[in-house]
Structure 1
């Protein structure tokens, strides 16, 4: 090997085709059977799914609190209009976009289900905020209205309130945050003791005595008391940032219900998925017509890669689900199990390939340097 030995599929294939190929294949096979790697990748996958699910739940709570039948919408005119604004531009973005068309106030909310590197989280918040200002005209065009004022919020479970509040206060006290120029991030907390409720966490900036509350006193009063979300309807089936397994299960649920199950065969086209993703009941986003093809492309690529779907012979543009079940419920259960297991195996294979490649190229490099 010469030049750039960094792992890539191209470099991997080159090494597989060399004299080291048999050794590389054996190392990959051995590593795939290593229990430590299997356990680590399985644990990582399950942890990521759980984290993504908790994150979705926080967005659900925001969406429900400002849903069309909510008190915030009906009494004071604040509506959840989109999940993940600017995500389609692949820039740093928030998780929820709430808007009051009468006052033309936009509220951008970032949801964090856990707090680890609190400093990075705050840095990311201000980067996302900058992106909102840079793309304000774009957002106004997308919603068909002017935005006259903006507020920015981080939403966290109640147990993380002190960590995030202390980080803000430290930066404000140190002068790292120019309050007059940058304003303050508001904090919403989700309480889970008796029923899920969204509540404004009120604090005062120690240095300058700025009250951290909404400009609209009516909204402040509602959220200080806490808005219960237990009876509110969740508006969406998934988000762009949802775990792929969750998105895929929702898509398979739709196409399975749409099909007439004949011998448990489910056939569909990419257009079927596109149409599903363009529904407001599937994903609440102002640009869902534009992002639907990306979601359906990802579904087809991932499921073909894992051997869960295949093209239908003699039926152009049709795909067939290779998982079967006598009922839709059984089919979905089988699909979820197979997708999870195959995706984990794929990740293990990728990890084994990289580790085996690095070991061989590192060994070669050491011999060459010697």
Structure 2
């Protein structure tokens, strides 16, 4: 079923103006030509009305309008003629190039140029006077000039549309980058929050359970002391994290990133928290003379040790918890071992987010990490976390 779209309001306006202008010229008797085969003045109104009707199709069916407009213009030449008919024809040619298909837009200028040249040569051969070239000039102004104008306008519109699409694509990519940056920042904040607070909350959970389950005033007092100490330190860590987020991007903001120089404090704190569970935490630094490493490496190593000590406090059986640091060439190795097995007494539940966070930190630096049980020399099993972090500038991803 053939469907015809409604004419655009601008096309209706152009058709109305063209028709009314042609009628006005006809009423005052202003014609373009002298005696013609159909020299009755009213005969010029037929091509005028047809051309005005074709203006309604200049957007919806531009090629059809042009194919009908050509014989209408030729028919107008056999009447006294109307300037409005010729002007509307030029607009139909222009619209066919602008609103037609790409193939039509390419062919119309070529065809109009060939028609212009053919008309000029034909009339020059017929009249054999130089004035005959003026007919070719007029033909070019009526057909070729509006076609070239349409090509120029269409090219500008296509360039503008391409620029708009490129801008939309750039905006979409920027939004995707922003969303990825927000997701990465949220993941980083989640890792920091987990690593900073989980250790203290695990100690609080274990010692509060011990205080509730063991009916001994001394044990309860000792547990409450550990709970208070971890609560104060956890609150301080939270304040430091909030301060870092609040002053992020400023030169005078607080630096909340811990370094390997403070590992001894972290291990000492873990030793205190794990004493009631039979854990003995020690630090072995085999790096020789410690040197300052890139900040992302020091932060990742510190958080790996912190999370490993937190997991030991939650799950390790009574025994030694050893933290070892070593450096070989451009690789910093972090090794944390603890007794693997069940233990008596209260235990804090785990969510598995700590291991995920450690893997994410190591992956961001291009390193490797392994965590799991391993057989020990005495036949027992140990839980071992070993991470290797590149410290060379060429292997850094941050």
Q: TM-score range by the shorter chain?
A: under 0.3
Give the alignment's TM-score, normalised by structure 1. Answer: 0.22
Larger helix proportion, structure 1 or 2? 2
Give the alignment's TM-score, normalised by structure 2. Answer: 0.21
